[in-house]
Amino acid sequence: MTALDRLYVDGEILLYGDVGDPWGWGDGFTPSDVAKALALHGGADITVRLNSGGGIAFDGVAIYSLLRAHALTGGKVAIVVDGIAASAASLIAMAGDSIEMRAGAMMMIHDASGITWGTAEDHEKSRAMLDKLSGQYARVYADRSGKPEAEVRDLMLAETWFTAEEAVAAGLSTAVLSDAALSTAAFDYRVYAHAPDGLPRRVKTNPPAAAAAQHKEANMTVRTDPADPAKVTETKTEPQTTEKSWFRTFSASAEKSGLSVADVNRIADESADLATAQAKLIDAMAEASNKDKPKPGGSPATVTADARDKLIEGATKGILMRAGIEGGERNEFTGMRLERLAEEALVRAGMAATGNRLQMVGRAFTMIGRPLASGGMHSTGDFGTILEAVANKSMMAGWDQADTTYQLWTKKGSLSDFKIANRYGVGPLPMLKKKPEGTAYEYATLQDSKVTVMLATYGQAFSMTREMVINDDLDAFSDIPRKQGIAARVTVDSLPYALLIANGAFQGGDPLFHANRKNLSGIGGGAPANAAPSADSFEAVATWMRTKHVGGTDGKTRYRIRPKFGLFPVAKEFSVRQLLTSATELGQTNPALKNRAQGFIEPVFSDWLDDASATAWFFAADKTQDTIEVSFLDGVEEPFLDQENDWNVDGTKMKVRIDAGASALDPRGLFKNIGA
């Protein structure tokens, strides 16, 4: 079973175990795992279940950012704490649009901590950084809880543990579920100062570091003659058969170091006491940090969040403000060039913003590297996430701005897949029959109808490259997606009108508009004549639709179809609007004669109709009756934006797609007048 199989189950993401994989046992969950699960799930709403005592700090931050990015691009995130959400896991919980905790579940928040190697000035810089970082984390919790930041910071400093009910009261959770909590995730809770008693300690068979410590043979240097320092002999102690007394304390420190298991084992092997081991641990951390240090004074923080989530949200709003798109705000990122934003994303992720500009921007797109000793590997770029969020907002702005009319008169449907589906209808019931005394009621016979409907996928891709970022080409990230959103809705708009214009066979029989269906002008037999829109032609069509559709199981049932919408080519817009709004009937010699057509139907004008005829017009019944249905996959009417890193250009590819289809349900609710 792969990590993704464990993580993504039945459409939900299960974050059980350690945040990250600090000991290399492969039973934690990493940002890469979560990113893959979200990609597999798509842009729909997602439920995320948590049961974790914490883990690698930067992995928790990355996962929080991934979930917030998912929420920013349209998919709501529902967090359910099944057992515990402590330390890094509590920050992940804050990413939810809703946060529910099982009865008996727990949550813990605490303040930032870290290890610094260097001069007093280095320690002071680290102190200032951690203090600032803790303030930023406090804002995350404060934003969720509504409490003042200072009050939240006090709770963090005190390492506060909440029951499910206390978390709701504190505003860190939205509800307590009636379901009992699952067994609390195993973790070495001794690393926390105030962990409640009874929490399960992680138990592993022969943990690598512990096993190495248990089988170490200690070599000690002993002076045989105190008066002669030169005289020393090497003596070997008996192999240790029990774990070093200080190893557990050292293990707790090493767990937060970000060093590999092999490095931790080596330090334990080479150290005779706790002080020596901790000194070697600090040296190893400093060496690892300096190897790919993003900026002077950096140190591996061991808390649950950093400013990356603020970067994503703030930068997205800042770019939207620059682009003039709703949802933007003026902030520190509004005047920032895209190239500078890419650099900022790298720095806040703990990566080096080095190399030439194209290399730096390419790295910002992919964000692959080792940000800090305790940060782990990242494969999801904050910079790419920001641009995707901007593109999605722009696309939806275009969707809302699109000049379409299908939504005014068609019925909206929902399909769960791309297979051919059936729509069943029941005609009007026959009139009630007189019941003679002493007889039973007769059962009405229903006349069912069945039509088929199905979906198709429509889409288009576009690329965002490093060169666009260097050129600060804002149109590429805002205007192009906006136009893609417009194109998506215009595509949907074309579908029902294409049915009217094509006039294809309906369910394998006569065309949609045909003499046999009594919904076409100029067919004789008293049918309305071909005519331009007027009070007389409107009256003729409305009367025909109301009286000529008779059938049902008794052959006498009246359908009484009333036209609600008039569909006209744009070429008829001025004359039709005048016809429907004039107080006096047009063409009458008596100006006092009331206009029969005034407000008679709701006009809809579409240039799709002009493509076929500048004279033909249609009447359609109310949307509650069966006429034309426009269906969407799972009822989701809005388009979806997919993103994929493009290694060929060190950029990102995006595509806009929508799953939709239009189908005629019943010709009787439609009428076509060929016009004149």
For residue 188, which amino acid is it?
D
Cβ pair 617, 330 in contact under 8 A: no
pLDDT at residue 103, as a whole number: 93
The owner of tokens 């939504």 is 407
Q: Which CATH number describes the domain made up of 406-430+450-673?
A: 3.90.1690
Q: Where are the alpha helices (DSSP H) in 173-307?
A: 208-214, 247-255, 261-270, 274-291
Q: Residue 235 forms beta bridges with which residues? A: 220
Q: Is the pTM of this model over 0.85?
A: no
pLDDT at residue 290, as a whole number: 47
Q: Which one of 3.90.226.10, 3.40.250.10, 3.40.50.300, 3.40.50.150 gives the CATH number of domain 1-110+159-204?
A: 3.90.226.10
DSSP state of 213: H
Q: CB-based contacts of 571: which residues, under 8 Å, 6+ apart?
A: 610, 614, 615
pLDDT at residue 542, as a whole number: 96
Q: Residue 221 forms beta bridges with which residues? A: 234
Checking phi first, is residue 225 left (phi over 0); if not, alpha (psi -120 to 50) or beta? beta
The owner of tokens 């047009």 is 586
What is the mean pLDDT of each successive set of 10 residues along the chain, which is 676 residues long? Answer: 80 90 72 87 91 81 83 86 92 93 93 70 76 75 90 91 95 93 81 80 43 32 37 36 56 60 75 76 63 39 50 86 84 83 78 71 62 35 81 88 94 83 60 72 57 76 78 79 89 94 90 94 93 95 90 70 95 95 83 87 96 96 91 89 60 82 92 95
Sequence ranges of the chain with CATH classification 3.90.226.10: 1-110+159-204
Going by C-alpha positions, the residue among 618, 616, 621, 602 that lies closest to residue 668 is 621
d(CA 649, CA 462) in angstroms, rounded, equals 13
Q: Each residue of 598-631: b (16+ CB within 10 Å) or e?
A: eebbebbbbebbbeeeebbbbbbbebebbbbbbb
pLDDT at residue 239, as a whole number: 34
Cβ pair 82, 181 in contact under 8 A: yes
pLDDT at residue 606, as a whole number: 96
Sequence ranges of the chain with CATH classification 3.90.1690: 406-430+450-673
Q: Each residue of 217-253: b (16+ CB within 10 Å) or e?
A: eeeeeeeeeeeeeeeeeeeeeeeeeeebebbeebbeb
Q: CB-based contacts of 641: which residues, under 8 Å, 6+ apart?
A: 43, 73, 388, 391, 392, 395, 481, 654, 655, 656
